[in-house]
Structures are given as C-alpha cells and as structure tokens.
Amino acid sequence: MHGVDVYLCLNTAAGPVRYQDPKRCLVVESDDDELFVGRVLLAELGIDVDRELEQLAARNLNDDDEFGDPIGIPMREDTFDEDVAIVINGMVVDCVERGIVSPGAEEDLLRNILTSLKGWRLALGDDPPARVPPLRIRLKSDAKPFKCKVRQYSPKKSEFLAKFNAELV
C-alpha cells in the first residue's frame, strides 16, 4: 500500500464533479476496478450521503414496482396516450371559453394542430438530449459584475420546488 496525491474527478449522473485541491489517496493492489471515497471527501464535494440514502429509502417505500426493474428513471416513449389527449382537450376547451378561438372550425383546427405535435410530456423522464447547438453568451466589453440578493420564496413555492427537484433526482 502507498499513498498518492491526485486531482479527483467523479463522473456522476448529474455530470462530472471535480475537486480543486489534490487529495491524498491510499492505493491498494487489487484486481477490481474500484475507487472507495470516504464521507469526508464526499461532504467536501457537497454530497450528503445520509440525505441521499434517506431520499432513496423514501422513494423505495412509495414504489409499487415489481422487483428487478431497471435502476434509474425509465425512458419515456413517444406515445400519444389517453392522458395527453385529455389534457389537450382541456386546453382547447379553455381556449374556446376564453374566446381565443371560436367554436367549430377554429376549435377543430387547434385540436388537430396540438395532436399533430410530438413530444408531449405530463411528467419529466430520462429523455434523450435535444439536438440543438449550445447557446453562446458574449458579454459586452463594458459589462460589470453585479451581485444580487439571495432569492426568497414563499413556503408554498419552496415546497413545490423541493417536490419538483425530488422528481428530477
């Protein structure tokens, strides 16, 4: 066994996590391709193992899935199901009630347009990435940095954001 100083980069589902300072690692001879990372290093990277385990346990308690399902978020299919049709119909009815479109031909045209579009989602899933070029942002030469205040959300909005972010994880 011996120790080395390394710059760590952990590839996670959320993307690569890099540690800025070199860390002393203990190297042990083994046939396995494994890396053991301690709680202290994970905490320094901003990963709370106990919180992650609590979320995993809470999610597993709510699952009624059969044993042996694949790990992670299931792939979403491009199917136009009955639930999407109900939501689209509700949007069309709402447009008619608000006077955005008139009943009859305009209503049918709007319904046809909405049902012909692909990519409707009622929930987020593990969809393939969008095929668009990355957005390039250029600052003007006279741009000055500005520090803004921390955002403060109402309790209802905070609860919604926490629930929404939990769905993403």
- pLDDT attached to residue 16: 78
- pLDDT attached to residue 90: 93
Using alpha carbons, select from 111, 105, 64 the residue that is nearest to residue 84. 111
Q: Where are the alpha helices (DSSP H) in 5-116?
A: 39-44, 49-62, 82-98, 105-116
- pLDDT attached to residue 64: 53
Using alpha carbons, select from 93, 58, 83, 53 the residue that is nearest to residue 167. 58
pLDDT higher than 80, residue 100: yes
Spatial separation of the C-alpha atoms in residues 84 and 90, rounded to whole Å: 10
pTM as predicted? 0.36
- Please write the tens of the pLDDT for every residue from 45-92: 777 888 888 877 777 655 555 545 555 555 555 556 788 889 999 999
* Residue length of the chain: 169
pLDDT higher than 70, residue 93: yes
